[in-house]
A and B are shown apart, each in its own frame.
Chain A
Amino acid sequence: MASTIQTATACILRGFALFAACGVLSVHAAELRIGLAADVTSLDPHFLNVAPNNNAAWHVFDALVHVDANVRIVPGLAVSWRAIDPTTWEFKLRKGVKFHDGSDFTAEDVIFSLERPATLTASPGPFTGFVKPIIAKKIVDPWTIRFKTDAPYAMLPYDLNSIFIVSKKAATGASTEDFNSGRAAVGTGPYKFVRFARGDRIELARNDAYWGEKSAWNKVTLRILPADTTRIAALLAGDVDAIENIPTADLTRLKADANLRLEQKVSWRTLFLHMDQYRDQPPHLSDKSGKPLAKNPFKDARVRLAVSKAINRRAIVERVMEGYAIAAGNLVSPPVFGHVDALKPETYEPEAAKKLLAEAGYPDGFALTLHAPNDRYVNDDQVAQAVAQMLARVGIQAKIETMPASVYFGKARAGEFSFALLGWGSFSGDLALRALVATPNAEKGYGAWNWGRYSNPKVDTLLEQGFATLVENKREALAREAATLALKEVPVILLHHQLASWAMKKNIAYSPRTDEYTFAHHFRPQ
């Protein structure tokens, strides 16, 4: 009898324990399904440098340097770094970090990871540019590495943010397929690889041994849903818990939905227009009857200013972007390093624009063709049309040609356009200036995307100085100075900064990011 009572009690107690455990488990047995807007072509973090692939890689891998929601660098697998002399950087690594297979993270893995991108030769978007400046690496001790550059180079921590650290043991000799199957996808990140169904989804499981803040979700599914309406419908139908990249047309409706939460933050992507400033007879530029002009109007700063004043940025933000953008006075968005608060967006003054045009010798205006992609940036073709409308009102007859990005970028780089739309996202103001307004110089790597070939040697000098200045606040001052100097001459027509948006179920929240990444570990249940 006593034993029966004992057994019964034991059973009941065990039942309670089980019940309690279930209660505890249910809090942590949470699953998150996210709808992504672009296809992930590979889980090999060193193969192709495109945002969707990197977004997925950040879940499984870490880098030495991380970036916070305001695109400022913060410690990652490296706890600190400093320049011990003008051409040597020393990074101190985090101790006690383990890879998903239980092995230790050491400096050996860092060296291996930095050398791996060069071995992947068949990539249209390689990572090799980020490790180019490093001419020597030295392991001082298992937790300290020194990198030597041939000239003082301030951007090394930023570059190292782009190289994911893989396990030397697992990834030696690994092909892309090995990463996609999971065999080599061993990282230190907040999630472990479970399954990759190409074109469909990525399944992840929480890494309970993560060195950083543990994720609230023990199971994560990243669904790939590139068609906008499909993605939104999936959220509305409850097939996913959160989505990214919401078209401006749907933002108001989703905001008003009582079952959903919307998170937004200014994105690092800025839209602007390049103007041909180097040819005397640029293509697609003529007078209103079609005859070529005597000289290139864009070479005259007054014309450039007139064009800038002709654009009603507030109307573009409110009507074309439906309020989901911020007018731009800088090449980089407000949170970004090197942003100059004093530089305001150009005011809308169509009468002043007409006067400037008349002063410059174009009282009747002229004709041009605006080229833009139609599938690359948010509302790109609509923005182009709005700009053309506004130019027409000050006497500049604008024709528009839009095309898919696959056709657009090749032609733009070949110099086929005189007035072309481009969008840019950058870690820091000086990097943007270097790519977009610095005098094109293939050896130095300046002006690679300066389609208009604006040139101001003073700006180039300031940039060079800045990249060699290893003290951050001095570098920022130089970057700001360069930006002020360049933008005063209207090298490009700045339009607006985009807004990144995420929509999710009411009971979860996200910390929005300027770099537009969607990280499962930054979603939290409310």
Chain B
Amino acid sequence: MQREQTPLQRIVADFARSKLALAGLAVLVLILLIAVFAPLISPQNPYDLAQLDVQDSRLPPGSRSGDGLTFWLGSDDQGRDILSGIFYGLRISLGVGVASTLCAVFIGLTMGLCAAYFGGRTDSVIMRFVDIQLSFPAILIALILLALLGQGIEKTIFALITVQWAYYARTVRSTALVERRKEYIEAAMCLALPPARIVFRHLLPNCLPPLIVIATVQVAAAIALEATLSYLGIGVPITEPSLGLLIKNGFDYMLSGKYWISFFPGIALLLTIVSINLVADQLRDVLNPRLQK
């Protein structure tokens, strides 16, 4: 007789079926550990200007700095050790990407659910705001916020949230509209359950799967968007570069043979995003009730 598996055990077992997803998970865990313990494992603190020397700039991988530090992956144009830069940069890129996506999801979810559930004027107002938000170029928003609030990582997160919430709101609204008309919601409504309960206990769980798919994709997009904003000079401050800003700094050297300045941070970014998505893919397949045979 087959032993009854708890839902969690089933999820884990299903997840483990894909070797690729497991590999992705391993890489992701490694990246998260690096990001968390960066200050402890980095050879250099790349954000401390007193530790940098412009005389050490643009040295190829394996060179030594004036102070005797080995630049395993070379140094960038400010004399920063690229390996340390990647470790600290992962913190910022991941932090910014995840924080902004989580907040944006929360706001978008609330807005989308309200729009779908209450309909009518609430729906119109919210959706018009969504339209406005979606047509404003992210760059203009970031520039305005920069002018008003100054530069900084929190401001970049704020800009990313402002740019992203509308997308989730719209998606959630579409799904919720479909769910809203289904019988189980009608039944709950005629049982006179309070709206909050209907929304959060009945409507929300069924809207989550597509949202999870999109959100995981969007973490990657948020990280890439932060890289683009940094490319345009309106992202994180230049003395505390994220992976995106490191890539942008090295971008100028792509044609000149000093590939390492952009290449290694690029690989790090790629691995981060790919591993996030591999894990998310498998998770989504595993959680999707419609794919259970």
Contacts and interface: CB of A to CB of B under 8 A. Distances in A.
Please classify how large the interface on chain B is, using the bins under 10, 10 to 19, 20 to 34, 35 or more: 20 to 34
A172 interface: no
Interface string B128-167: 0000000000000001001100110000000000000000
A393 B58 CA distance: 21
Given A250-B255, A400-B238, A389 B52 contact: yes
B110 interface: no
Contacts of B256: 249-250, 252-253
Nearest to B150: A401
Contact of B55 (A228, A252, A319, A407): A319
A389 B49 contact: yes
A319 B143 contact: no
Nearest to A401: B151
B212 to A, nearest CB: 36
A352 interface: no
B233 A249 contact: no
B257 A253 contact: yes
Interface stretch (A293-301, A332-340, A374-382): A374-382
B54 A374 contact: no
A233 interface: yes
B191 interface: no
B255 A385 contact: no
A232 interface: yes
Contacts of B55: 315, 319
B123 to A, nearest CB: 37
Given A233-B255, A249-B252, A320-B54, A404 B239 contact: no
B8 to A, nearest CB: 48
Nearest to B258: A249
Nearest to B152: A401
Contact of A388 (B49, B53, B143): B49
B252 A404 contact: no
Interface in A316-343: 316, 319-320
A382 B78 contact: yes
Contact of B253 (A249, A320, A399): A249
Contacts of A389: 49-50, 52-54, 78-79
Most buried by B among A233, A249, A390: A249
Nearest to A395: B50
B57 interface: yes
B254 interface: yes
B237 interface: yes
B255 A229 contact: yes
Interface in A384-441: 384-386, 388-390, 392-393, 398-404, 406-407
A389 B258 CA distance: 23
Contacts of B254: 229
B75 to A, nearest CB: 11
A387 B254 CA distance: 25
A392 B54 CA distance: 12
B18 to A, nearest CB: 38
A404 B232 contact: yes
B54 A406 contact: no
A406 B233 CA distance: 11
Given A382-B78, A386-B54, A403 B253 contact: no
A514 to B, nearest CB: 25
Interface in B202-232: 232
A247 interface: yes
A42 to B, nearest CB: 24
Contacts of A375: 233
Nearest to B249: A382
Contacts of A250: 252, 255-256
B91 to A, nearest CB: 19
Given A229-B252, A403-B233, 9 more contacts: A228-B252, A320-B57, A320-B77, A385-B238, A385-B239, A389-B50, A392-B49, A402-B151, A406-B143
19 contacts: A249-B77, A249-B258, A252-B256, A316-B54, A319-B54, A320-B54, A385-B78, A385-B238, A388-B239, A389-B50, A389-B52, A389-B54, A392-B49, A400-B239, A401-B150, A401-B237, A402-B237, A404-B234, A407-B143
Closest 7 CB pairs of A and B: A374-B233, A249-B252, A392-B50, A253-B256, A386-B54, A392-B49, A319-B54
Interface of A: 228-229, 232-233, 236, 247, 249-250, 252-253, 312, 315-316, 319-320, 374-375, 381-382, 384-386, 388-390, 392-393, 398-404, 406-407
